[in-house]
Amino acid sequence: MLAGAEVTPATANIGAITAGAILLGAGLAATGKPRVAGRINLWAVPTTPLLYLLVNFESRSVGSFIVLCVALIIPGLFWLFAARRNWPSPISKGFLSRRPALRAGLGAGAFVTLVAGAFLCSLALPWWSFGDCGGQPLLDERGVPRYIDFTARVLLVGPRTFLGKALWSIARVEERFSSPRLPNIVILRGFFDPNDKAASYFVEGSRSRGALLRFLPIIIEPVPCGRTQSAKDADVALRILHDGPPKTGVRLIGRVYEEKSKEPVPGAGVSIQGPPGNIVSVTDARGVYDLNGLPAGQYTVGMQVQDAQGRPLGHFGSWSFNLKNGEVGGANIGLP
C-alpha cells in the first residue's frame, strides 16, 4: 500500500467484484481463445479510473487502484504469451470443452460466489470515520429522531476479526422510534463479544454507505459519537424518544453512573445553573436526573455532584447548553 493511500469498503468491494468478473470472463474465453482473453484483461485496465470515480464515495485510493490494474495486466499478458506460444487450453480436450453451457454455468456460479464473498468480507471491514466527536441532539428541530433509532436483541454474533471482536451481529428489532420502517431482522455493525448473544441494545444508527451494503436496508451502522449502547444504560435516550420534545419550555435530562461498573448512582444531587438560579436535581433509582418545563436560556450542568445528604461527591466538569423552547439538553456524568 502506498503511503497516504486509503481503501474504503466501496473501493474494496467494487474493485474486487469488477476485477473478479473480468478475470472470470477472460478465463472462460481463454478455454477456446487465449488471445481474446488477454485482450479482455488489457482493455479493461484503462476503464479502472472511471470505476473509481463512480464508486469511491469516501476518498481516492491510489494503492487499491494500482492493485486492481496489476490484477488485470498480469493475467492479460499471460494469455497473450500463451497464445503466441500456442499453448493448448487446459480443458481444450476435456469434458468441459464439449459443454459450453456447463462452462457458462460454472462461470456464473463462480461470480455469485465472488459477490457473496465480497459481501461477507465487507462486514469485517471497518466502517467508522475519524475526526472530532461533537455529537448531535437526539431529536431534530421538528422533534423527531435525527437518525434511525430502535431497540434490538442480538440473535447471532459474527466471527472475531483482527480487532479481537466481531464487527457485526444479527438482531431482532423490538421497538421502533423513527422512519424509514425497519425489517424485523437487521444486521448491526458494531463491536460484539460472543457473550453479547441475547443482549438488548439501543441503536442510534443509519443505513450503510458501503458500495454493496448501501443497497441492503437491513444493514445498520452506529452513528459516530452517537448513543448506541446496551439498552439497560440507555434510559435517557429512551425517555426522550418516548416523551418527545417538551410541551413547554426546555428539558434537562442526564444520567449519573459509575465509570468502572457502568451502574447507575441513585440519590445523587446534580448542580444546575440557569435562568431559574441554582438548582439541585436528585437522580432517581436509574441514576437519571430530569427537569422539564424550564425556561429557555443558558444552562450549566454537572459543576458539582453531591449525594442525597448534600455532601459533595466531587467536581466532574461542566457542560453548557443554550436551549430554546422545545429543546432537550443534559449530560451523562461518570463518577470514578
- The answer to whether 80 touches 38, Cβ cutoff 8 Å, is yes
Identify which of 114-128, 217-231, 295-309 has the greatest average pLDDT: 217-231
Distances (CA, A) of 99 to 31, 33, 68, 310: 11, 16, 31, 86
Reply yes or no: is the peptide bond before residue 276 cis, omega within 30 of 0. Answer: no
Most confident of 147-156, 214-223, 264-273: 147-156
Sign of the C-alpha dihedral, residues 112, 117, 123, 125?
negative
Q: Who contacts 127 (Cβ-Cβ below 8 Å, separation ≥6)?
A: 9, 167, 189, 208, 210, 221
DSSP-derived letter for residue 297 is E
Terminal Cα distance for the chain, rounded:
42
Higher-confidence residue of 182 and 285: namely 285
Q: Could you tell me where the DSSP H helices lie in 86-147?
A: 100-123
C-alpha torsion 108→36→66→126, nearest 10: 0
Q: Pick from 77, 74, 83, 79: which is nearest to 19 by CA?
A: 74
- Does 279 score more than 90 pLDDT? no
**Element containing residue 305 per DSSP (H, E):** strand 297-306
What pLDDT, on a 0 to 100 scale, did the predictor assign at position 2? 28
| Gap between the Cα atoms of 154 and 220, Å rounded | 13
Give yes or no for residue 250 having a pLDDT over 70.
Answer: yes
